[in-house]
Structure 1
Amino acid sequence: MLDVQTSPPSMKVSSLLLLAVVSALTGCSKPADTIALPAAPPKSLTIFYTCDTRGHIDPCGCSSGMAGGIARRKTFLDAHLSGPHLLVDAGDVTAGPREWELLELEYLLRGYEQMGYDAINAGHREASLGLERLLELKGRHQGLVSANLVNEKDEPVLAPFRVVTLPEGETVGIVGILDDRISATEIGQGLKILPPQDAIARYLPELRRRAGFIVLLAFADEDQMKEIAERFYEINVIVGGKVLQPSATPLRVNRTVIAYMTDKGKAVGRLDLKAEPAGRFSSTNSIVMMKEEFKDDPAMARLIAEYKSRLKEMDFLPAAQKDDEEGLTPISAERSKNANRYSGAESCQSCHPRAYETWTASKHAHAFHTLEEKGYDTNPRCLECHTIGYMASDGFLNTRLTPHLKNVSCESCHGRGDHHVKYYRGEDRELKDFKFKKVNCVGCHNPDNSAKFEYAAYWEKVKHGRD
């Protein structure tokens, strides 16, 4: 098979002339237009890429200066998508398989279509959705790819690859894979993940026939991307991935350029490529944070507003689902009748009036209202830090059933207070002393949601005694 990436233009012309002479001398009657010639690569190409959006359709707005959101992303892309370019995502668009996360994914994919994504690779979180849901998504949304996410018959569930034609007629093949080193319990029903390199080897010959440039979307770590580049020199670019940090500078392994992105949709990567001799491409890479300087695109803002309305209509209750360190805590088992429970801030007021007064004047006492202002008062991702005990069986459910557990209050820091209250009321309950722990702050005041958090300064805003 010819490799056009190693043949300079002069060699191609000479080869064609020689072929014509030989054909004439030997009396070959096969028409010239039936001879399959390799496609030519683009002279230049810009790849805009994202990965690990993880359901973050919009920055939560807990503090100023937060980056991310598809409305800003659309504004950035509209200003920069010109010339020969691709727009791709390397995986983990969704946060997971819960019903509210699936609603979020539906609107994210609608947004991706409006932005003009050429291909969207399946990551581990897409694999958690299961066969039935992935097939439903495939039926509604174009561009989803994965060469090694298969059903129980080893048949691809999504398109293994896509071939995109650039404005000047050059063709680019985009194939997707995800790391198969994952527990079977984390893969949704009816799905399997085949070894990535086996899948690449299966589809690469066809891609080389149909495209002059090949891009691999790899939801994989840096070492695995390097291994793939070492084996498959035909791949021009690898975009990932399952990494801890974005790549400020692209890697070059063999003849392959490698770049990768992460961090919950806060940034867009831009990889500029220019053809060089011997099938190589020079590259420059930049990571652009989606900060407030990028105003919300009006059409995308309307889509997000529609998503918020649907959230309110569906009014999701907490559900017992396994999640990772970034997500929500699984709902606990139902507590026994005599177990300690959340009781709400008002139960503390009569014995601790000064502390209660300090609390009512703090932002903690109005934490739920900030969600109402932003339209996220039914968003489970936000409720975890703006209510008491969300995702616990005795914690906040919604404003109809548990209005007394709105906001951040006494029990957010000190733990369940039911036994404590009943003991001092003279009821037959074991005394449960409250113990304040500094770690309780950083669960919500983390770098993502509260980048400016400094314990001593923030404590002064809520400081109170035992009274």
Structure 2
Amino acid sequence: MFNSVPAEKRLLIDTGSLVETNSDQDLIKFDIIVEALGLLDYHAVNLTDEDFEIARNRGLLDNPAVRFISPHRTGETAAGFQSRYLLNNEHVTVSVLTFDPDKSPTEQIKEGFVNPEEGAKTINILIVSRCDEEVVSSIAPLGIVDCIVCPSEAEEPMIIGSPNRRPLVFSVGRYGRYICRLQIEKARVRDRFKFKFTAIPVNEDLEKDAALVDLYKGYQQIIRDSNLLERHPRYVLPDGLKYVGSQSCSSSDCHAYEYVEWMDNAHASAYATLEEVGSQYDPECVACHVVGMDYESGFISEQQTPLLKDVGCENCHGPGSKHNEKPHEVKTSEPKMTCIQCHTPEHSGDYAGNEDTFLERIKHWTEPNAPGNVK
């Protein structure tokens, strides 16, 4: 995707928020992401407050393979950078600056962008840590910013406001599902530029990069060697409940039909899909492919708790120990998982809007019971 643009005409920037927390797994992930961005020849990586602290604590700020930028003016990172390009036989300087409107006055933006020489062509791109109409309205009158890049809580990138206004304002999306392409062209109006914004989906059809595949396999090995799965924190279940496995529901006197139907759907082989891609030791993945990993008596490992592999009865219906002892007197109870706890935009991007289709795939109950009444 990057190579579709000649190297001398492209500028690759990551806008930050590399990980969500400072958990052991996210810290490992942070190191791998930084290495991946270096392999992809990114020109700059913006560090949010949280990113900056992690990078500094892990000694990554002086990584020669990656240029970090950050609104922190500590001397360890620059707030921005410049790069020069040839556009229609004219040299154009693209300046990228990071800015935190909650910590710095708007006037400081003028200081961050280097004043061009007389007659020089410049394009100024501002990456902000917070973006709302108040922030945009305070920046626009400066008259020096061409584009404002906003963080986003939405999965998809989007232009905010009119695509024709200046500065052009857009958000970058989340979860790495899209690459935002900002194509700069010379406008018909003298000394003006026009911007074409495109959100390009990152899908499985893209050609694999051997170096990145090896890096990810290395990440999987680090996760396994760190023993994060068995170290995963687990809570005590209420009222002495325990997980007992889906097989305990298969009695001919109880839920034999439902058990046989469940055995034929994708949930019953959920753990095997992790083994196919080498992710069976990754707690972030395993949690949604087994029973009760967040609780004592729940899944620990394939060796210790083989009966709790896969997405089974107790994921949705709750721990079954007391119900199995007195099936006609005691109903299953919390904790019960819902679909959207695992089918999130990050892990299951096709789920939203297709809920009925997904539900039909795992149907294992007899009608006329409605899907909402099966618990």
SS in 2 for 1:341: coil
- The aligned counterpart of 1:208 is 115
Question: Cα offset for 1:400?
Answer: 4.1
Residue in 2 that maps onto 1:455? 356
Which of residues 110, 121, 133 in structure 2 aligns to 1:223?
133
- CA shift, 1:131, in A, is 7.4
Q: Which residue does the alignment assign to 2:266?
A: 363
Pick one of 216, 221, 239 that aligns with 1:304. 216
CA distance 1:99–1:389, change in 2 (3 Å): same
What's the counterpart of residue 139 of structure 1?
62
Question: Is the CA contact 2:18–2:30 (under 8 Å) kept in the aligned structure 1?
Answer: yes
The one-letter code sitting in structure 2 at the alignment partner of 1:175 is: L
TM-score by length of 2: 0.79
Residues 243 and 261 of structure 1 are in contact (CA less than 8 Å); yes or no, is this contact kept in structure 2?
Answer: no
SS in 2 for 1:86: coil
Separation in 1 of the partners of 2:7 and 2:312? 51
Q: Give CA deviations for 1:174-195 in whole Å, capped at 9, x if unaligned.
A: 2223464xxxxxxxxxxxxx24
Match of 1:434 in 2: 332
Task: Give secondary structure in 2 for the equivalent of 1:343.
Answer: coil
Q: CA deviation at 1:446?
A: 4.8
Q: Which runs of 5+ in 1 are unaligned?
A: 1-75, 181-193, 321-330, 426-430
Task: Check if 1:387 corresponds to 2:298.
Answer: no
Counterpart CA distance in 1 for 2:313 and 2:140 is 57
| Change over 3 Å in CA distance of 1:123–1:391 after alignment to 2 | farther
Name which one, 1 or 2, has greater alpha-carbon Rg: 1
TM superposition shift of 1:390: 2.8
Q: Partner of 2:60: helix, strand, or coil?
A: helix
- Residues 303-452 of structure 1 mapped to structure 2, 5 A cutoff: 303-317=215-229, 333-335=235-237, 338-350=239-251, 351-423=254-326, 432-434=330-332, 440-446=338-344, 449=348, 451=350
Change (3 A) 1:240 1:196: farther
Q: Distance in 2 between matches of 1:80 and 1:222?
A: 32
Q: CA offsets, 1:157-210, max 9 Å, x none?
A: 532222334468754332223464xxxxxxxxxxxxx24636535x426x3369
CA distance 1:176–1:441, shift in 2 (3 Å): same
Flag the structure with higher helix content.
1
Does the 8 Å CA contact 1:176/1:218 hold for their aligned counterparts? yes
* One-letter identity of the residue aligned with 1:463: H
Q: Distance in 2 between matches of 1:239 and 1:169?
A: 23
Match of 1:175 in 2: 97
Inter-CA distance 162–319: structure 2 relative to 1 (3 Å threshold): farther
- The amino acid of 2:115's aligned partner reads R
8 Å CA contact 2:106–2:138 kept in 1: the answer is yes
1:261 and 2:172 are equivalent in the alignment = yes
| Alignment partners' CA distance in 2, 1:457 and 1:107 | 33
- Partner residue, 1:274: 185
User: Do the aligned residues in 1 keep the contact of 2:128 with 2:151 (CA within 8 Å)?
Assistant: yes
Q: Shift of residue 97 of structure 1?
A: 1.4
Deviations 1:12-67 (A, max 9, x none): xxxxxxxxxxxxxxxxxxxxxxxxxxxxxxxxxxxxxxxxxxxxxxxxxxxxxxxx
Q: CA RMSD in A?
A: 3.6
The 3-state SS of whatever aligns with 2:200 is strand
Corresponding residue pairs, total? 352
Unaligned runs of 5+ in 2: 367-373
Aligned to 1:92: 17
* Structure-2 separation of matches of 1:274 and 1:318: 54
Question: Taking CA–CA contacts closer than 8 Å with sequence separation of 6 or more, which of the two structures ends up with the larger relative contact order?
Answer: 1
Q: Residues 269, 456 of structure 1: CA spacing in aligned structure 2 closer, same or farther, 3 A cutoff?
A: closer
Residue 85 of structure 1 aligns with an amino acid whose one-letter code is R
Q: Secondary structure, in 3 states, of the residue corresponding to 1:242? A: coil
SS at match of 1:443: helix
Instruction: Give yes or no for the alignment of 1:287 onto 2:199.
Output: yes
